[in-house]
Chain A
Amino acid sequence: MVVQASCKYTGYKLSCLTIHPHESYHSEPLIFGTGSADENTSNRITLWSLDTNKLGAFDALQSLCVAPHESGDVLDIQFLASSSAVLAASSSGIVSVYQYNYLGENMINLTRQAQSSVLFSVNGRPAPVTGVSLQDDNVAAVGDTGDVAVFPFTRVHEKLVPTRVLSDPDGCALNGVSFSTPSQIVTVNHAGRMRVWDLRQPGNQSVRAVKSQPNILATSSYAGVVDVWDVRFEDAPLRSVVISESPVWDVRFHPTRNSQMVCCSEDGSASLLDFDPYQKYPQGGFVPEQTRVDGDEMVLGCDTLLESGGIGLSAIDTRRGVAIAIADNHAVYVVGGLE
């Protein structure tokens, strides 16, 4: 049964959220990170611990450590668990690398180690980096200028420079990026276009991928629709679901349950979508709408995690039966009982 477990007001404007990818034991608290966008006043990256065994208790959600982020608003953060690093995309056009180390049980130290050169700029002024994704040792960052910068992950200040810059021909701001395979990145832009870029090819050939099904992607849109795509069939999404009349700001797959994803919207609602794109067609794979003979619809369950009507939610993530969302009223919401 879905229960709203807790809500914690942080006292600063939150902009992004990511749960630590390490699949820890159930006895251990979940670690997740948030970045703030207090509009250039005093920004910070916070690592939190959520004790999933104590959901609902006042102290289930605790901030573990706070690192100041001096260069602009944090617009996206990602963990690189293998290197104990956190990457932060900033409104000042740079990507910063933070190092965290466990000092013992629930003791974490977070320090800034390096920062990239200014990746995107317009008329000599830095333009925001709106999203960052990484796979193996490659980092892809997208910006408000419509460009994609690819660079190797390193802790050396000077070496954090783009090795390759791709440009979106739409000339629109890019909103998100994700690696679908080590050599393939997917971006989405403000005009609603999803693009797949093949890094192995010199030319230009769209936002989070399921690890075990790299060809399946989900995108959320300004029109309140969540689309599930198979990148091999670019013409039409596998499934489109109207979630809300307001923009859906974020959609994420459950890292281990491939058929589950969570999304959150400007109208304050959060939903759990449960679907299996190939459930009805186990042998034949994807069957486009036009060639289906029995007119079967794919089964899709939609559970409301948070009711609409509140203030907009800007990011959401899920792990281990828990969904964590951040809202425009500077609060972190935790919803439990998703299993």
Chain B
Amino acid sequence: MIQDLDLKYSTRRHKCILLPRFSAAGELSLTPVAVTPKHNAQARQQQQQQQQQQLDAGSAAPSQHDFPHAIVSLALHPSPGDDYIRQLVSEFHTIFCDVQKAVKAAAAKTALAPVTTASRRLSQFSNTQSALSSETSAILSKRYRQALKATELNLLHDLQRTAIVAGHADAQAALENHHPVCQEMFQTRQVIVSSMTLWHLCEIMFIDTRANGLVTDSLCAWLQHSFDASVERLPDEFIPASAANRSVEELQLWAYIARLVMRGDTDSAQQLLPQPNESPSAAVCFGPMNALLANVPRGSAATSVSEFMLAWSRWREECRIQQRDVFAGHFGWELLGRVLLGDQAVLRKLAQQWYELVVARLFLVTPNTKVFDLGLLAQEAMAELPPPLPISPDQAEADTGAGEFDRIMAAAFEFDIQKVVQDCTTLFDGWFVAHFTDLLQRCGKLESIPLAYGSDIREFFVLEYANQLASHNALWRLACDYFASCSVFGPHFLKAFVERVAPFSSEKKAAKLMLTCDRFGLTEERSTIHKVLGKWRLQQGRLGAALGHFIQTRDVTHVTAISLQLLDSYRQTGVLPDLAVLDAFGTEVGMSKALTILHKYKQFHSLYRSGDLREAARLLVDLLAHESAPKRMWFTLLLDALPLLESEQLLFGVSQTYILMRSVEELCEAHNLTSLLALDLKADGKSSSSSSSSSSAASAAGGARRQINEQMEVVRLALARNLSRALVLKQQ
């Protein structure tokens, strides 16, 4: 099993994700730039004010960003689009973690609630996790959209800056002049905008189901936010013969107002209506039209569907009366009247896209349509206003542009969640699909269908995405959270991944990695990382740090080897490294005899330094008495005892002195001394590696033996003196 996972993992490591795949995005006409009719100065001013208000409220996507800071230098990054996708990746991760937390909280709540035997049995069989409430999921879904929005605003801001730094008047000019960086940024923006559009639609259709089943208002808001209502010209059919002398701008204005009404943006439409003093028609029609637009019944305000439908029928009747009595025969006003009455022919002619037609019909013809029935409306609309590219399945492979996007939107309208998810994978990258399927499944809208090649569809996409993140050096920490959120295969992936996050660029990164192991309960992996770090430090010759890591993994072999190496180096050089690492350990120092001695020896030195000589003396005797220290250390220990023996205060009692004397005599036995000498000579030979003829070796051995004997004589003398002092003291 794990081998498989490894293979899968390794084949994906080199895959790079963060480049948007959505190359044909430029073909989508998703610019939210409203074309304001030019002839009506007042209307334009109002529109501008409105835009400004929206901007202030942070609700609209402004095309002309108001930059509060002056332009500064911007070093251009090789692929500027990446940065923004990375921003999304980071922010989505935060929200993703919050989704998982919310799921846990919901599960805890369910666990606390009294559970009947029947419901428990049911939940066992249904195999569904406790779903998020629709309120919580709607909040989380909105946060995802806010993240997209924030990234888009950042991008627009930087796009403008980049354009001006590059010497263009603004972003538009830079794009027209095919500035490569600006173009790439613009393409990235298109990806973000289209994902925002789709997410919003799916949120209305699948996630935010709090309302009384009426989705008209939400869908109107979706259309208003996502697509603009710009018009090229009024369709010829609506231009009566009497209007031949009208200006193009005026015709455009009427078409624009009509489209605003069709998408439910009655507030904007009201502001653009010709004022009563502008023409005789307006003097008659403005009042009634303004009242009709102001009083459109809103589903979100109604408490029940029947109450809403009653209000709506009354309003519709009022429209019919006003159309017959007032608007008829007045250019423009009559058109608006027909729109309000939901004249199918007018709606079809004015609508530029099929989804616009869906929303218009929903708003003006059948406002009580439920989410599940929208598919029919969508199918009709698509038949009447086909998307720009054919949507036959045969062309799906080649088609990555507008047609594809329309197809996903159509699937959403048809409430076909599986199809939406499936088609998203062709159009968007992992970051979209993984978070989208996760949220859908967490709120209980995406059925947990077992896959032949994995756990379920959510886990499949999340793991896929986590693997993509794992291929990037800087995103390993984020990848871990995604792996951990997958209950079936996630732990295997996580284990395999954590061991591969190396190389450790620094001790801090290693520490972070081990904390991640702790967090997800990966004790074995943590141990492996310590081993790797220990080896790494050992190779660098930093024994203290290496020792610390090996103690953590309880690697007795290495701990013993390093402890002996440290003791030997002390014996030869007289310098014991300040082993602060040992302070952090308690009972662990007992894992290896050599480590215990090293630890005691370190204690001895710190006691000696701090002036606690009596305790230091006791520790030294302890090391020799139980023969815990290896014989080759004895000589060093006895030399260390010298200053203690010579101190004014009597530190060794009679029995302790006897132990020291016994040690001296035992050490001076021929074979012990020879082996000590052999060890030293070996070390010397290693260090000098000069000409090693047998005679020079023999003379060196002789010299060393003599030196040891001389030093032992000094120790013997000190011991004898100490013994006599101890005996005298004992008698007293």
Contact = CB atoms under 8 A, between A and B. Distances in A.
A104 B69 CA distance: 11
Contacts of A91: 505-506
Interface in A141-194: 144-146, 169-173, 175, 189-193
* Chain A to chain B: the 7 pairs with minimum beta-carbon distance, closest first: A39-B473, A11-B86, A171-B544, A191-B580, A11-B83, A13-B474, A11-B87
Contacts of B577: 169-171
Given A59-B69, A310-B97, A123 B75 contact: no
Contact of B69 (A62, A130, A191, A247): A62
Nearest to B84: A11
B84 A173 contact: no
Most buried by B among A91, A145, A169: A169
B579 interface: yes
A192 B578 CA distance: 12
A314 to B, nearest CB: 8
Given A39-B505, A170-B580, A191-B548, 14 more contacts: A10-B87, A12-B83, A40-B473, A42-B78, A65-B73, A73-B505, A91-B506, A107-B72, A170-B581, A175-B507, A309-B101, A311-B93, A329-B93, A330-B87
A331 interface: yes
Nearest to B503: A39
B86 A173 contact: no
Contact of A247 (B67, B515, B539): B515
B505 A171 contact: no
A191 B474 contact: no
A183 B82 CA distance: 46
Interface in B260-317: none
A58 B150 contact: yes
Given A130-B506, A189-B580, A191-B584, A65 B542 contact: no
21 contacts: A9-B87, A40-B505, A41-B472, A42-B77, A58-B150, A59-B157, A65-B75, A66-B75, A106-B69, A107-B73, A108-B72, A145-B542, A170-B544, A171-B543, A190-B507, A191-B544, A191-B548, A191-B581, A246-B515, A312-B515, A330-B86
A235 to B, nearest CB: 10
B580 A266 contact: no
Contact of A310 (B94, B477, B506, B544): B94
B583 interface: yes
Interface residues of B, number: 58
A202 B433 CA distance: 62
B181 to A, nearest CB: 14
Contact of A12 (B147, B474, B481): B474
Contacts of B478: 329
A58 B58 contact: yes
Interface string B84-125: 111110110110010001000000000000000000000000
B540 interface: yes
B452 interface: no
B545 A171 contact: yes
A146 B86 contact: no
A312 B544 contact: no
Which of A12, A130, A171 counts the most B-chain CB atoms under 10 A from its CB? A171
B14 to A, nearest CB: 14
Interface of A: 9-13, 37-42, 44, 49, 51, 58-59, 62, 64-68, 73, 75, 91, 103-110, 122-123, 128, 130, 144-146, 169-173, 175, 189-193, 222, 246-247, 266, 309-312, 328-331
A213 B507 CA distance: 31
B71 interface: yes
B89 to A, nearest CB: 8
Interface of B: 58, 67-75, 77-78, 82-88, 90-91, 93-94, 97, 101, 147, 150-151, 153, 157, 472-475, 477-478, 481, 505-508, 511-512, 515, 539-540, 542-545, 548, 577-581, 583-584
A13 B481 CA distance: 16
Q: Of residues A104, A222, A329, which shows the largest number of chain B Cβ atoms within 10 Å of its Cβ?
A: A329
Given A144-B506, A191-B548, A311-B94, A247 B511 contact: yes
A122 B473 CA distance: 23
Contacts of A310: 94, 97
A44 B78 CA distance: 12
A203 to B, nearest CB: 14
B416 to A, nearest CB: 33
B159 to A, nearest CB: 14
A114 B300 CA distance: 63
B72 A172 contact: no
A49 B69 contact: yes
Contacts of A309: 101
A193 B580 contact: yes
User: For the complex, would chain B's binding face be called helix, strand, loop or mixed by DSSP majority?
Assistant: helix
Contacts of B75: 44, 65-68
A59 B68 contact: yes
Contact of A38 (B101, B473, B581): B473
Contacts of B78: 42
Nearest to B93: A329
B86 A12 contact: yes
A145 B581 CA distance: 15
A109 B70 CA distance: 13
A266 B515 contact: yes
B545 A190 contact: yes
Contacts of B542: 145-146, 171-172
Nearest to A171: B544
B222 to A, nearest CB: 22
Contacts of B68: 51, 59
Contact of B70 (A37, A107, A172): A107
A37 B474 contact: yes
Contacts of B67: 59
A173 B74 contact: no
A104 to B, nearest CB: 7
A38 B350 CA distance: 51
Given A41-B473, A191-B584, A329 B94 contact: yes
A246 B516 CA distance: 11
Contacts of B93: 311, 329
B70 A106 contact: yes
B481 to A, nearest CB: 8
A222 B507 CA distance: 12
Contacts of B473: 38-41
B584 A144 contact: no
B700 to A, nearest CB: 31
Contacts of B84: 11
Contact of B74 (A40, A51, A65): A65
A41 to B, nearest CB: 6
Contacts of A331: 90-91, 94
A192 B505 contact: no
Given A12-B83, A108-B72, A170 B58 contact: no
A172 B544 contact: yes
Contacts of B506: 75, 91, 128, 130, 144, 173
A51 B70 CA distance: 13
Among A41, A109, A144: residue with most chain B CB under 10 A: A144
B207 to A, nearest CB: 23
Contacts of A193: 578, 580
B578 A169 contact: yes
A167 to B, nearest CB: 11
Given A91-B506, A328-B477, A105 B583 contact: no
Nearest to A328: B477
Nearest to B18: A11
B90 A9 contact: yes
A191 B85 CA distance: 39
A328 B515 CA distance: 13
A39 B97 CA distance: 23
Contacts of B583: 191-192
A127 B515 CA distance: 23
Contacts of A330: 86-87, 90, 474
A105 B70 contact: yes
A261 B157 CA distance: 35
A172 B578 CA distance: 10
